[in-house]
């Protein structure tokens, strides 16, 4: 693992949900870092989302990010906002920072107020682990229903020096494009103008986390933060950002793939490629309709090459096309062409393809040059079990 220079981590097992499990993580930059954030589009926005937005509107830099799991602090009113402020104050006092230099994020059950007594008790662990904890520890601390921690990293050379990019995220359920449901953190030791850094992060999120779906739900807490502290000694200037942007995008796309791989109860990663739409927006409508269709998702789980479900989803997607021009392929084999199925022994042909974890669905609408893609999970019995028992 490549950890960018100039960052230190701290974690605690605070007992927010389960005793003995890491559930609070802090990353601190030794230098003021260019700060960026991308947030949920859900109208019900959690207190840390509202606070993070406000902090980034007031300042282009930050020194730390604090993330807790087990408590979403969403739909908690003024008390939730005050509790969020106090949590930042606690971290600031214990790490020698200013409260307004700390960006917050939370995940967990919606509606419960933060357990402020446990936050106060956790500060001793935060102090003791500060600078000793590793990125993997923090990746574990932010997990909820995730079955494994999610990290990715890249490096590149610029101006004769190595620049590192490290990312981590959590997410397995309540995942849907339009700021996919997750918490994430992207760190780099490159020096970047804050305006440029925000543009790079926003673009990378659009091309990664906003192109995945598990269940069609977008959460109240979705947040991706980015810190760029310049500790490598390399300053990325306007017009020279290609290498950094490529590294950040690669990290975000790796993390997005891991989220779909870890989808609650999921067994498949389905890549849906749509081409030939009137424009990219219509291609995106088609891809999302297929990726979010419970019938398509359950067919993938059942290893059933049911092209009729794909065609039906396309037909209701809102995209404009001539059904007689549409082609559908699964796993590289065309199964539907010009409005009709292709004659073949479907079950024997597709059995080995649908035994794989990764399956491609390719749609050609035949109406233009628009294109889009989406990563989707299947929908399983286990997903229902997990979410039926989530709060209790």
What residues are annotated to the active site? 181
Q: Which residues of 147-164 are buried (b: 16+ CB within 10 A; e: fewer)?
A: eebbbbbbebebeeeebb
CA atoms of 208 and 198, how far apart (whole Å):
15
CA atoms of 300 and 295, how far apart (whole Å):
9
Give the CA radius of gyration of the chain: 22
**H-type helices in the chain, by residue range?**
47-58, 77-95, 116-129, 135-141, 194-206, 242-261, 280-291, 294-301, 307-315, 346-354, 381-388
Phi, psi torsion values for 110, nearest 5 degrees: -80, 140
Contacts of residue 340, defined as CB under 8 A and 6 or more positions apart, other chains included, come to none
Report how far apart, in Å, the C-alpha atoms of 56 and of each of 176, 202, 227 are.
24, 14, 12
CA atoms of 3 and 229, how far apart (whole Å):
13
Q: 337: burial class by Cβ within 10 Å (0-12, 13-18, 19+)?
A: middle
Bridge-based pairing of strands 340-341 and 358-364 is: unpaired
CA 357 to the chain's CA centroid: 20
CA atoms of 84 and 113, how far apart (whole Å):
10
């Amino acid at each position: 693992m490549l950890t960018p220079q100039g960052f230190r981590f701290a974690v605690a097992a605070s007992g927010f949900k389960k005793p003995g499990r890491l559930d609070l993580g802090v990353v601190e930059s030794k230098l003021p870092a260019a700060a960026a954030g991308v947030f949920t589009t859900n109208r019900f926005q959690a207190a840390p989302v509202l606070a993070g937005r406000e902090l980034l509107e007031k300042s282009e830099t930050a020194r730390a990010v604090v993330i807790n799991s087990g408590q979403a602090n969403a739909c908690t009113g003024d008390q939730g906002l005050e509790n969020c402020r106090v949590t930042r104050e606690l971290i600031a006092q214990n790490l020698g920072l200013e409260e307004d230099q700390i960006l917050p994020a939370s995940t967990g059950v919606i509606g419960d107020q933060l357990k402020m007594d446990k936050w106060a008790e956790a500060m001793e662990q935060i102090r003791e682990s500060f600078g000793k904890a590793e990125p993997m520890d923090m990746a574990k601390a932010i997990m909820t229903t995730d079955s494994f921690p999610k990290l990715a990293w890249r490096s590149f050379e610029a101006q004769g020096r190595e620049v590192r990019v490290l990312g981590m995220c959590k997410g397995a359920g309540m995942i849907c494009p339009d700021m996919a449901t997750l918490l994430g953190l992207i760190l780099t030791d490159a020096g970047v103008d804050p305006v440029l850094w925000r543009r790079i992060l926003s673009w990378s999120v659009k091309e990664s986390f906003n192109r995945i779906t598990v269940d069609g739900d977008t959460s109240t807490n979705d947040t991706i933060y980015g810190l760029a502290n310049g500790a490598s000694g390399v300053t990325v200037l306007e017009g020279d950002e290609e290498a950094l942007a490529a590294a950040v995008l690669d990290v975000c796309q790796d993390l997005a793939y891991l989220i779909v791989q870890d989808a609650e109860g999921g067994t498949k990663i389905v890549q849906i490629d749509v081409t030939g739409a009137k424009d990219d927006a219509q291609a995106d409508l088609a891809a999302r309709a297929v990726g979010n269709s419970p019938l398509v998702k359950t067919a993938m789980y059942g290893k059933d090459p049911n092209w009729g479900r794909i065609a039906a989803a396309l037909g209701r997607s809102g995209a404009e096309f001539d059904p007689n021009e549409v082609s559908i392929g699964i796993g590289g084999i065309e199964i539907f062409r010009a409005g009709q199925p292709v004659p073949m022994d479907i079950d024997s042909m597709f059995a080995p393809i649908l035994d794989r974890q990764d399956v491609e669905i390719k749609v050609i609408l035949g109406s233009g040059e628009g294109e889009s893609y989406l990563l989707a999970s299947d929908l399983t019995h286990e997903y229902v079990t997990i979410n039926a028992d989530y709060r209790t």
